[in-house]
Amino acid sequence: MSDASGATSGVTAMGRFLANLREIPKTFRESLVRGGAPTTDRTRSSFVFGNVFLHLHAVRTHRWSLRWSTTAGLGIMSVAAFLITLITGVLLMFYYKPYPDAAYVSIKDLHFVVPTGRFIRNIHRWAANVMVVAVLLHMARVFFTGAYRKPREFNWLVGMGLLAITLGLSFTGYLLPWDQLAYWAITIGANIAQSPREVTDALKITEYFDPGGLQRLLLLGSSDVGEEALIRFFLLHVMILPLALVALLGVHMWRVRKDGGIARPDDADARLGPPPADTYPVFTEAPQKTYQIAAIVKGKTPAVGKGPENTVPSMPHLFYAEMGVFMLTVLICTALALVSDAPLKELANPNVPENPAKAPWYFLGLQELVAYSAFMGGIGIPSIVLLGLGLIPYLDREKEGTGLWFGGPGGVPLVLLSTVYGFGTAFALEAFAIRFGWIREWWPDVPQLVITAINPGTVLTALYAGFSIWAVKRWGSTRAGALALFTCFLCGFILLTVVGQHFRGPNWVFYWSPSEWPGH
């Protein structure tokens, strides 16, 4: 031990120890955020790129992206809802037992016995629904602002994958309580998966080629919904799909940044005008580091070829917005959880079918179509829709209206017209089919393939397609056709979902209200 230093500074080792102890909060803070407090442009930047989670964001964000009307926060809301389901889901897993009957009892225990179990389960259920809604609305937002266009085509496809995983997560979670609702909803879902049989049966080739049966078998792991299906759904729900979602979500958000941030019109700066007085000033201090890092990246990054005048540091502007939306989502989910309990019906009973057995709400539009033709409703039309959605960014190569709500040829009037047309035709077809029946009721001996080809679902699809082609010709623009088609399908989806949810009773018969169902 050298007592020279101690002697020169006049401080004992013990004194240094105590001083270090006192300074722990400060040194810990410094070690946590190495660049120092985010008070200057430079430290704000390093706050973002020095953090493993935050560096998915650009260090600066365009003011256009921060306007509420640009995104309505829907993307973040989807992520927030996912995080909520993740946390609550892990908590639920402490009590859940993925085995028939035991599963039901464990959910009953969660509901009635486990402290805060009911609350957590309610939050989980509501967050799941919020997530589905937010993802669908986010997709609509991206479409209507033309944000799928070059250079964001691929990210649109990634987004479609995320939509599919979101629905898959929600659907697999539906079975886990193992009650009547779950059991029969999943039975319906499995039957939808089996719907190609309608065609193979009609062609009398099911014996040799049975993709429908195979799909159902893969989904359920058995001929019926049973313990195999439950463990499969459980594994998909708690492991495979969440992992896939996280991976794809990383790609999705990273691509948002790499594809040039949130889409905005070319004249966004002009539209925004000068920044308001309370915005953090830009380059208030002499930059100690140039933005060369941005220049390395190819393509339309926010910083290339433009001054950073209309961007603001992501820390704190973007993070306040994101935190705000996150907390708003938590608020919505907890409020709904306090008001409304997640459903739990009787123990699953394979001998007593629920009538009506309904799929989860977001599949009720499909179930409505399945009621007309299992193949078209379950496979045909969804495939057409998915294919159409995927192709949109590659067919619409226009530039006009990117970043603006309902931008592009046709604009708001076309969307309004499409809304009227979309709801009108779907309503008229449903009303007709409910009032007068369909081909099978008129000529009972018609071959099934005729009905597979001609049913309210396919007729509606054809009407929408025709309208879209008309829009392409009328405005001389692919974007106009896409606007028309997307709006129509959105309206059709909403209308069919509402009909399936509210107006269909036992045996899928039309009722004005569930209170009129027999047996209540």
Partner 1 sequence: MKKNKHLLLWSSLGVLALLVVAAVQENFFKEWRRHQLRADSLAEHGIDVRLRQVVVPSLNVMDRCVSCHVGMAPGEPAIAGDKVLGAHKPVVHDPAEFGCTVCHGGQGRATERADAHGDARHWPEPMIPAKYAEAGCGTCHTHIEVPNYELVLRGEKLVERYDCLSCHALDGRGGTLRPLAAATVTSPDLTYVGVRGYDAQWYEKHVAKRAASPDGPWHASFGDIPEMDREALRVLLDSRVGTPRLVEAKALFHTLGCRGCHKIGGVGGEDGPDLTREGEKDPGLADFTHVPGPRSLESWFKAHFRAPATVVPGSKMPEFSLTEEQIDLLTLYMFSLRRSDLPEAYWPKDRIRVVRFGASEFSRDGETLYGTFCASCHGAAGEGMRFAGMTAFPAIASEGFLALASDRFIAETIRKGRPGRRMAAWGHANGLTDEEVGKVVAHLRALGNGVMPAAPDDLAERLGGEKARGAALYAEHCTGCHGKTGEGGEGTALNNSVLLATATDRYMAETIRLGRPGTSMPTFGMASTVRPALASDEIAAIVAHIRTWEVTR
The amino acid at residue 116 is T
**Residue 288 CB-density burial (10 A; 0-12 exposed, 13-18 middle, 19+ buried):** exposed
**What value, to the nearest 5°, has the Cα angle with vertex 156 and ends 150 and 159?**
160
8 Å CB contact between 343 and 122? no
- When binding is defined by CB under 8 A, the residue of 12, 20, 116, 223 that contacts partner 1 is 116
Tell me, residue by residue from 74 to 113, as one string, x for binding to partner 1 by CB under 8 A and - for no binding: -----------------------------------x--xx
Residues 371-410 that bind partner 1 (CB under 8 A): none
Tell me, residue by residue from 280 to 299, as one string, x for binding to partner 1 by CB under 8 A and - for no binding: x-------------------
d(CA 386, CA 374): 17
203 is a site residue for partner 1 (CB under 8 A): no
Residue 10, number of CB atoms within 10 A of its CB = 7
- When binding is defined by CB under 8 A, the residue of 26, 204, 435, 520 that contacts partner 1 is 520
Structure tokens at 430: 């449903």
Residue 38, number of CB atoms within 10 A of its CB = 18
Of 27 and 340, which CB lies nearer to partner 1 in the complex structure?
340
Q: Which distant-in-sequence residues (6+ apart) come within 8 Å of 281 by Cβ?
A: none
Tell me, residue by residue from 302 to 321, as one string, x for binding to partner 1 by CB under 8 A and - for no binding: ----------x---xx--xx
Of 56 and 114, which CB lies nearer to partner 1 in the complex structure?
114
CB of 330 to partner 1, least distance (A): 5
d(CA 201, CA 187): 20
d(CA 74, CA 468): 27
Query: Which whole-number Å values give the CA distances from 288 to 47, 54, 62, 292, 366, in the listed order?
Result: 15, 22, 22, 12, 58
What single DSSP character describes residue 481? H
Residues 335-374 that bind partner 1 (CB under 8 A): 335, 338, 344-347, 349, 352
Residues 319-338 that bind partner 1 (CB under 8 A): 320-321, 323-325, 327-328, 330-331, 334-335, 338
Q: Would you say the C-alpha torsion 315, 318, 324, 329 has a positive or negative sign?
A: negative
Tell me, residue by residue from 36 to 75, as one string, x for binding to partner 1 by CB under 8 A and - for no binding: ------------------------------x-x-------
Which residues of the chain form contacts with partner 1 (CB under 8 A)? Answer: 66, 68, 109, 112-113, 115-116, 119, 179-180, 278-280, 312, 316-317, 320-321, 323-325, 327-328, 330-331, 334-335, 338, 344-347, 349, 352, 518-520
